[in-house]
Structures are given as C-alpha cells and as structure tokens.
Structure 1
Amino acid sequence: MSEAQVQSETVELIEVLHVEDESDFADLTATFLEREDDQFTVETATSAEEGLERIRDHPPDCVVSDYNMPGMNGLEFFRAVRERYPDLPFILFTGKGSEAIASDAISAGVTDYLQKGSGTEQYELLANRIRNAVRTRRETQRVDRQQQLMRLTEFAGDTGGWELDRESGTILLTAGSRRIIGRPDQTEISLEEGIALFHPDDREEIQHTLTRAFETGEEQHNTWRLQPGDGDERLIDMTITPVVESGGRVTKLRGAGHDITDRKERRQELEMHKTIIEALTDAVYVLDEEGRFTYVSDELVELVGYDRETILGSTPSLIKDEDAVERAEHHLGRLLSSDGPETVQFEVTIQPCDGDPIVCEDHMGVLPYEGDEFDGSVGTLRDITERKERTRELERQNARLEDFASIVSHDLRNPLMTAQGRLELAQADCDSPHLDEVGDAVDRCQALIDDLLTLAQSGNAVGTTEPVTLSELAEECWQTTPGADATLAVETDQTISADWSRLQQLFENLFRNAVNHGGREVTVTVGELADGFYVADDGAGISDEDHDDIFEAGYSTADDGTGFGLTIVKEIVEAHGWEIHVTDSEASSARFEITGVETAH
C-alpha cells in the first residue's frame, strides 16, 4: 500500500471537551461518544471555569456544555469562549426545559442546541452534531490555509465557494456552488449573473459589499437570500475574503457560504411557539417523562396561586387530589396506546394554594418522541367553574319545570276532567246558555294545559334529526286540523333534516292558527324558499302593529286562543337553529317564513 493510501485511510481524531457539573453524566456521555465513533476522544470538566482553563491549555475541536451549572451558566461560558476562539464549535447540550433557553442560545450564535433525552439515541444525535460542526470548521480552516482557487476543492460551508476575479469580472464556482444554484456543468459565470441569483432587494447591498471588500481589503460578512434555479429560496450566511497581491492591491475575492435556512426556520418556529403560548388565555403546562412540571405559563401560575419555583419540578399532585391524578394517568395511557387518540379532553378539579376548588377542562397530548422512549406530555387547563355553575342552575330550572309539568298534568287536569263530567250531567238535567259558556271555559283551560305542558316539557331541545319530506308531513298534520271547508295546498317536494315530532308540532300549530284566524274556508299553502320553507294563508292577515307581538307567550287576537301556539312554533324553530319571520303573503294575508334550514341528501 502506498504512503498516500495509508494517509487517506488514517482516522482523523476529534477532541471533545464536555463541561458538565454532573460528573456521572459527563463520564457516561464520554463513554457513549467514544463507543459511537472511534474518532472521538472526550475530556470532561465539572465547571465553566475549569473548562476555560482546559481550553487555554489545549483548545479542543469542539466544546459540549450543559446550561444549568453553578457559577457561570452555559451561555455565559459560550460568550467567554467566543471572545478568544470565535470559530470554535460550541454545542449547548442541556436538559429539557424552557423554549426561551433554546431561543437565547440560537440568538447568541451557538453552533448547535440539543436537549438531553432519556435514551441512547441522544448520544447518536450528539455525535452526529459534533462531527458536522468539526467537519465544517476544518473545511473552513483548510480553505483559509490553502488560499487556492475553488475549482479544485469545496470551500467552507454547505453551499460551496466561489472566486471573483477583479479584472475579468468572472466568477469561478466550486462543485458545491454549482450544485446549489442548479448549474452543475457551468464552472464560470459573470458577476452580473452571480448577483442576479439573489433576491432583488439584496442585490444592491451585495454590489456595495463587493466594492467595499475590493477597496478596503477587509473581510466582509453578511446574510443574503439566494434564489437558485429550482425556486427554493435559501438564506446564505456569506463570508468574503480579499486576496491581496504583493503590491497591496486586492485582485480577487473569495467567498464561503453557509446555508442557515433551517437554523433560521427553527428560530422562527421557536419564536412562533413562544408567541402562541403567550397569546393563549388558557393555562399551559409541560410534564417530563417522570410526570414533573418542566414548564408552566403565567396563566397557570395565576390559576393555582403557587409561585413558579414551587410548581416546577413538582408533580400534579401539588394541585390535584389522588382521584384527579389517576384520571389523568388513565387518559395518558390512552394517548400512548398504539390505537389511541392524539389528544384527550376531560374534566378535572384543581385545588389552588388558597381558595375554593376550580373545575377545569384539561386538554392533554404527548410530546413528539422517537422509538419507545416517552418524552413527556403537554396540556392546557381552562377554568369552567362558571360554566358548570350555569349548567347546574339550568338543571335546577329544568327540575322546577318538571315539577310544574307534573302539577299541571295531574293536579289541574284531574279537577278539570271532573268539572267537565259534572257539566255534562248538568246539561242533561237542564238547558241553559250559561252551561254552554262554562263548557267553553273548560275547553279553553284544557287547551291551555296542553300548550303549557308542551312548552314546559320540550324547552329548546331537539331530538335526533332525520330526513323529513315536507309534503308528507304537512298532509299528515292537516288530517288532525279541524277546518270544515279549509284547504291545504302543498307547493314543495323538499326533504329537510329535522326532528320529526317537533316539526309536526310546528305544522299543527301554524295550521290551527291559520284556521282560527283566517276562517273555516281559508286556504293554507306550504311552499319552498331558497334556504327553507313557508306557511301562508289567504285569511284576514296580521296587522303591522301585531307583527312584533305574535310570538310572545299568552298573546292572541282570537277569543278562544291560548296565546301559546306561535310561542311553541318559535321555540321549535330556534331549537333547530333556524329563523322565523312573519310577512304578508301575495294576498296580503299571513305568511310565516322559516329560513336557515338544511336540506337532507
């Protein structure tokens, strides 16, 4: 084997300094990294101060650091390293926690940010991040050292490199550059073509930067939006290095770019998530795989009354009783099952630090994870105490209505039936017009009872809806409408989605209303509207001053009317989510229009 072959196969070692105050975890990480790749040699330090001393004595290829450490934290340590070693790869490897740490880390310019996990996959991922960071730095150093044309080698950065000749105005492209702009076979382009590859709003600034580099001989750095041939815009972090001839004149510019699109997108995504959480009015929490709070929003802190430091690291038993904790664990089991839902919603009672229990709606899901290692859960708590109280009040009102219906149906109807029987006996014994008046009064009371029971028992409820053919139901209801010579005309073949029995009540009440007010020879028409139907008659009509009052309970213009028929009609309409309006028909008579009706298919 030749010497060149031996050198090409030589393993290039990667020296890593791991700064971690938990010495056991630091040793474990070193073991896994060195087992993952025999390129790695890992040294450890238990504080940032010790880490700085190690770097001063012998700079590593990459620094991996925890965030929460006594004395100087991870970001402060990073800034101290950057002051002396501006290009040394630095990876923040810290426990699960605040999105704000990740955002601050990326904003500060760390090479990468990685959260610790509970499985061995985290070390594989960390090893890959280290390799990528070190490879990028070494490529940059190699290009800087060689100072050669980039036709022969890749420039630093995943976008490759380029060289601009001042005299000819041409740009030589490396293979990486040609690949990113979609011109794999074109090794040379003009300056104008090169600038045109970028966003129109960036081109003037690019031209100024190139001119400044030629005139001052100083290295330039900026970020621009590349628009390659495939149309997929990329954000390029560009470093431009002047090549100075012996006479001090800049004859060439060399550029190295790094595609930071994904990094910016991650930063924007973190900012978006942070904004979303801050905009939520519900209380937000995050639990780790051991069921301990790792994040709580300001709303949750305010809801439970404990300070944030007390909540973080605690389990939900701090604010929930044993039954509520078991219920949450049951729903978490559903989420983790192979065929379980993505989220669950259930009711839970929260016990704040001070004050009465709070009834909440808990909307919970699990954090994304790979493999079999569960990473924790996230959820929101919404205070529904007032809603529950309103529900209980409605239940109490319904109970009172049921009691009222019982009294009406039994305690009033029975005496009326007795009075009606006695009246018939009296009419058999003697003939008196006064007895006829008594009979009419008893009939009216029976009608009032029937309508009151309908209102009390049905309320605004709608049962199961089904396809209902209006013509069939209208004909059926007309058979029970006393009307002598009254006529029904059906001018629709619509089939709508409705509660059959409630719609039957609607038609019966509208038909009786038309006959009672329009006369025994009235014609009642059921017709079709664009989003509903109407019931009209050719009777005397309804005066304008009565339009606003006819749906009020007890309002009637007929001597023998109860005043509840149209009230029942309106409740049935509203229970379905429809609307009802009274207008004049073509014959200037009454027309009831029901709209917002869903057609059945």
Structure 2
Amino acid sequence: MVPPLRESGHGESLKQEAFLSGSNSDVTVLHIEDDPAFADLVAEFLDRERSYFTILTETDPYDALERLQEEPISCVVSDYEMPGLDGLALLERVREDHPQLPFILFTGRGSEEIASDAISAGVTEYLQKDGGTEQYEVLANRIEQAVARYRAEKHVERGFQAIETAHDGISMLNETGEFIYLNASYANILGYEQDDLIGEHFESIYPSTGVENVYEEMIPQAKADEWAGTTVYQRKDGTSVSVEHSLSFTSDGTMVCTIAERETEIRDTLSLRERAMDAAPIGIVITDPHLADNPIIYANDRFVELTGYQRDEIVGRNCRFLQGPDTRREPVAKMRRAIASEESVTVELRNYRKDGAVFWNRVTIAPLFDAQGDLDHFVGFQEDVTNRR
C-alpha cells in the first residue's frame, strides 16, 4: 500500500514559482526503470506531487530511446543498473540527439565513482533512491527545476537566434561608443563582416561631416527616451547608404542601435523569401497574434494544396478551421498553451480538408520575436503524415 504524501509548504511554493514562470506547462517525464513495481510507485508519487506532470514509463532502455524519438519529452529520469544498457550508456545515447535535454540519474546504487562519471558524462542531476517518501518530493523538485532551466535557456536561445536572423540591423555599443555586438544584417547593410566592426567606434561608419548630430541630438534624446529618424552611413567601400535608424539605452548604459534599409534590394530579398516559402514541400502559414483571434496573414502554395482551400478562404481565419469532430482535444490544448506562453510546440492531430477528408497533420508552431524581443508573429509548419500514421 502506498503511504500518503506529507504536505510540504516548500513544495507548494516551488509549484507556484514554476507556475508563474510557465515551467509547469506540459511537463512530460520519460522514466526508465527495469523494476515495473517500483516504476509504478514512482509514477504514482510524482503524479501526486505534481499533477501537471505526465509520466511515461519504459522498462527497457532501448524502448525508451525509440519513444524519445517519437514523443516530445521534457525530462528523462533513468535508473543506473539495467540489463543491456546502463544509465550512463543510455545518457550517452540520449545526448547524441538531445544534447541539452534534462537527464536525471535516479539510482539505488550510489558511489562517488558513479556520481563522478555521471557528472563527467553531462547528467543534469544525480539522485540516490532511499526508503522514504521524501525522495519523491525531492525528485519532483529536481525535475521541475531542471525543466525550468532548460526552457529558460531555450527561450534565451530563441531570442538570440531571432536577433541574429532579424532582417533589420541590430547592434550594441558600450558606454564609450565601441561596438560590442552586431548581427549579420547590420554588417551587411554597411558592407562589413561582423568581426570587422567589433571594437570599432561608431564614428568610423559616419561621413567625416555627419557625426555632430549624434552627440548633439541623437544620444541625448535616446538617453531620455528613444531617438528615431534617418541616418546616412558610409559603407566600407566608401559609398553612402540611407537607413531608418533608432537608438535607445539599456539600464546598464549599453546603446542599442537598430537600422533598416528600405531600398529595392530589400524588397527583392523579401520577394525571394516568399517565393522560397511557396516552393517549400510543407505547408507554411504566418499568423498575427496582435489581431483578434490570431488570424492567418500568409499561407504558402503547399498549405493551399494540403487543405484544398483557396488563399482568400484561408487568410483572415484562425487555423482551427481545419479541426473537426475527430480532432482530439489534447494536442489542441497543447498548442494553445504553447501559444499563450510564446513557446514552440509540435503536435500531430486529425485535420479536415475542404472536401471533408480527414488527414493526420504534423503541426509545428514557433514564435517570431522582433528586435526588442517582443512577440511579432507565429509561423506554423504543416506536414501530412497520414501514411506514417
């Protein structure tokens, strides 16, 4: 008989903290334990400790590796001594495809040597089993914290990738006016390589007579609030380029500079990107979360073919118009939670074409952030996986 869980104010505060940070959203734990009875016990206690955990159990490490490829997993919890593949060998296999995924070694066999090997192999947490029920609260806390860290790191990584791949040029300068960071677009607009400008003073990109306004108007106004206007820069090859330009300062005194070139070359680039998306073998839609009901504002050719709807029947509608009576609520709820949390998500669900035909749709949704790190749009990728299902 499973003993009752004791109440813990500390555990409840962690739950509340995780809820506020969004880390408890859809936490799926893959537990690998060759003792079925103990595996059931762990699943029951974890479910009591954290009702928002979904516990998937495998008794064979090789089956666990297959399941990891098939389902989105938030955290792996593994025993150490198992037939065929021990916990550290399993960790090595997991790290091949999922180098940052939280992995907790939850073992009954403990030693300094095993702990040292686990840390060297890149385990997220190392926890020994004991006979008390408190171990399940500790395990739940470790899972919760590991997933929260992992998701926070992914969020930062996505934000950095958004800056790196932003169409607008973005740079950061220190208090003395030297470049400490610039993205590829910023360098391209000015005709430089990124490394060329790191450590250089901003005066180097101005014509000889164009820098006075920076000190007299732009910087003072940016320190008070924000400055925006038009600036003429001098490219590396000596030619001039006119850009839409904004300046602002962070609380630590870092100057953030955003520039955008609105010329024929830019319009051609945008046109090329749209043609590339239309040639993609999967459906692509872009939605605008700032409009009522997050409607589709762009759909590529493959999405039109996939769904049977014409573009004028697609644009302006929420993607839920593809759902029907056999669409399961769980993946839909998972998508809604991810959208509300501004996170990426992948699900598979039944959708309906215009003619009523049902197809299995693998949907991936990702947020797109602007230069300030605020949500700009969502992009959705749709793939017909009916044959595989």
TM over 0.5: no
Greater relative contact order (Cα < 8 A, sep 6+) = 2
Q: What's the TM-score, normalizing by structure 1?
A: 0.26
TM-score by length of 2: 0.39
Larger Rg: 1
